[in-house]
Amino acid sequence: MESQMTSELGQRLRFVAAFTWFYGYSGMKRGPFFVLSYLSLPLSLLFFIYVISHGAYLAFGVLGGILGIVSGNSLTSVGDFVFLRRELKIQDLLVASRVRAMDYATALMLSNLVYSLPGLILYAVLGALLHIYDLAGFGILVIMVVVLSVSSTSMAMLIASHVRHMRNVWGISSLLSVLLTLLPPLYYPYSDLPKYAFYVLLVSPSTPISALSQWYLGLQPASPLSLIAVLVQLVIYPTLAIKFMKWVDE
């Protein structure tokens, strides 16, 4: 019995690793111009932030770029989820195996992180050169990035599970990516928002993560509500994504 459980766990871990390699690294290698595509928005915003603020908000631009890349790629992947489910029917194949919904969700989340690595490395170097964070600060940012990836990917999976037609998905994913990376306070101080707007934007995983990151880097005062929101989202979004995921099309 124990050996059977060990074998099953090994197969599930191999699936996660193989899918992450195929859909994350191989996808990036086959289409390197897509990396330049997702980098174009945060780098453009960084340039305008530098020019308009005369460098005063440069740290917000770098931090926003790091979080915006992860959030944007995770939310854009709504299209990938729907394509994999409806066109490739990959979930129909997996449901007959030992792979579980949680394994599939984990593999997709890790794929998004791997796909985001070139941009994250670029911004990590920029942040180090500009002395925005030290080694300890960078370590905390890595944790923030992973938490943001989990929550954002879970939100994307939850939305994708209710998209019925491929013709709608690309518009939905692009709109979500823009709205939930530009409106939340990624590239500007969260305290600049009216309280009611900040409370509304807390529904986006990037908002509380950004507020906590700005506080930790000494850019803004502490926001205890953001910490509560991060912890709640880390539980609620993955739970809802797994619960309502259409594992097999009806």
- Amino acid at the residue 136: A
In percent, how much of the chain has pLDDT > 70?
Answer: 95
According to DSSP, residue 190 is labeled G
| pLDDT surpassing 90 at residue 245 | no
pTM of the model: 0.89
| pLDDT surpassing 50 at residue 250 | no
Is residue 180 domain-resident?
yes
What are the tens digits of pLDDT across the range 42-65?
Answer: 999 999 999 999 888 999 999 999
In percent, how much of the chain has pLDDT > 90?
Answer: 42
Is residue 82 domain-resident?
yes
Q: What is the mean pLDDT of residues 151-176?
A: 81
pLDDT score, position 248 = 54
Is residue 4 domain-resident?
no
Which residues constitute the domain of residue 141? 39-93+115-244
Lowest-confidence pick of 92-96, 219-223, 230-234: 92-96
Round to whole Å and give the CA distance between 159 and 180: 13
Is residue 101 domain-resident?
no
pLDDT score, position 166 = 74
What are the tens digits of pLDDT across the range 104-144?
Answer: 888 889 998 999 999 999 999 999 898 888 877 788 889 99
Is residue 152 domain-resident?
yes
Q: Closest Cα to residue 180, out of 150, 210, 201?
A: 201
Give the CA dihedral 156, 159, 162, 166, nearest 10 degrees.
-60
Alpha helix (H) residue ranges in 54-183:
58-76, 78-82, 90-94, 101-129, 135-160, 166-182
Q: Considering its fold, how many domains does the chain have in total? A: 1
Which two tokens mark 234? 């880390």
Is residue 22 domain-resident?
no
